[in-house]
Amino acid sequence: MADTEITNVTEYEAIARAKLPKMVFDYYASGAEDQWTLRENRYAFSRILFRPRILIDVSKIDMTTTVLGFKISMPIMIAPTAMQKMAHPEGEYATARAASAAGTIMTLSSWATSSVEEVASTGPGIRFFQLYVYKDRHVVAQLVRRAERAGFKAIALTVDTPRLGRREADIKNRFTLPPFLTLKNFEGLDLGKMDKADDSGLASYVAGQIDRSLSWKDVKWLQTITKLPILVKGVLTGEDARIAVDVGAAGIIVSNHGARQLDYVPATIMALEEVVKATQGRIPVFLDGGVRRGTDVFKALALGASGIFIGRPVVYSLAADGEAGVRKALQMLRDEFELTMALSGCRSLKEITRNHIMTDWDTPHILPKPRL
């Protein structure tokens, strides 16, 4: 499909499916077990409808915001997704340049196929580093120091992966990192390669390397080894949101890991409001999972999110057209979000309120179930 024919972010998925080896596409696309949460992450957005305000001067729309004190062009950021060179030879380099061109934040995965130093070398840009805590804490401390030195501005600590979720496509495909690639951040530590396994090579790698004993005290430990703000990524309940605030997290990312960890957790957009209420405005709350339209971004902000992160749309657009694909995906989401704001009567992010939406859990007697 020619670039000019692409009119929305969802269309990149089919292009990626056609271009990529099955093992690679399935790795990016699949969720855990029955993939109920994977479908729900998308479907739940259709249960939220708009209450647009009319006859407001929307000739000027301001989408800018600040995240942890950093000014960005829009509340749409890039989530950490692993091993991007499987999608495109330029991998994380292309994603970093696209994010920088769009004036937004890229989060680099611990399991990137480009190192923190390599990504920093692409030029200026605000970047966060997603961290998995390895059993060997020296590895963790070294990695955090390298990210700091490379100019990364925050740590997104993934807290929902003491063990890898059961992704059955990866088991069937015997998923492993292609031989010409390495997990670049771990290359010098002999942790950069993944062995072939009888099931998922990644699951075996996680079982061997990632610390199952990770707990809140480790968040405190992390604060002793870095001055960087820590975002806790993978919170789905008000209880954990309150603890995150208490231990001094700089922010929360409401995430179910793209529905790849525990199946039958709620869609993130459904869990969002509980988490926002629990934080009582003390720290910002972000969301990832299922965002494919500018309307989705607006709905998340109306429910109290300070911004959203996109994951799969990045790897799919990267696979389809490299840096230009990711740029276009970000631009389409930006344009759709701007249009949603205008048609809802909101000229800035602070004008987006809970009153601009209704959900079928607010008014079940009024709302029909939207048909997909």
CB atoms inside a 10 Å sphere around CB 180: 8
Distance CA 241, CA 315 (A): 29
Q: Is 356 labeled as catalytic in the residue annotation? A: no
Helices (H), 247-304: 268-279, 294-302
The backbone torsions φ and ψ at residue 149, rounded to the nearest 5 degrees and listed phi first, read: -65, -30
42 is in an annotated binding site: no
290 is in an annotated binding site: yes
Distance CA 64, CA 61 (A): 9
Annotated catalytic residue, options 138, 257, 356, 365: 257
82 is in an annotated binding site: yes
Contact 135, 218 (CB under 8 A): no
Among 129, 160, 140, 310, CA closest to 229: 129
238 is in an annotated binding site: no
CB atoms inside a 10 Å sphere around CB 179: 9
255 is in an annotated binding site: yes
Within 13 Å and on the Cβ side, how many CA atoms surround 371? 0
Pull the structure tokens for residue 149. Answer: 């030195």
Distance CA 304, CA 307 (A): 9
276 is in an annotated binding site: no
Collapse the DSSP code of 320 into the 3-class scheme (helix H, G, I; strand E, B; otherwise coil) and give the result: helix
292 is in an annotated binding site: yes
Distance CA 5, CA 88 (A): 21
Pull the structure tokens for residue 284. Answer: 């910002």
Pairing, β 285-288 against β 357-359? unpaired
Give exposure, 91-114, as e/b (b: 16+ Cβ within 10 Å): bbbbbbbbbbbbebbbbbbbbbbb
370 is in an annotated binding site: no
264 is in an annotated binding site: no
97 is in an annotated binding site: no
Distance CA 194, CA 200 (A): 10
Q: What distances in angstroms separate CA 219 from CA 102, 140, 222, 226, 248, one per listed residue?
A: 31, 12, 5, 11, 9
Amino acid at site 38: L
88 is in an annotated binding site: no
356 is in an annotated binding site: no
46 is in an annotated binding site: no
312 is in an annotated binding site: yes
233 is in an annotated binding site: yes
Among 45, 34, 187, 33, CA closest to 112: 187
Q: Cα–Cα–Cα angle for 88, 89, 94, nearest 5°?
A: 75
109 is in an annotated binding site: yes
Residues annotated catalytic, as ranges: 257
Bind-site residues for FMN: 80-82, 109, 130, 158, 233, 255, 288-292, 311-312
Bind-site residues: 27, 80-82, 109, 130, 132, 158, 167, 233, 255, 257, 260, 288-292, 311-312
Bind-site residues for glyoxylate: 27, 132, 167, 257, 260
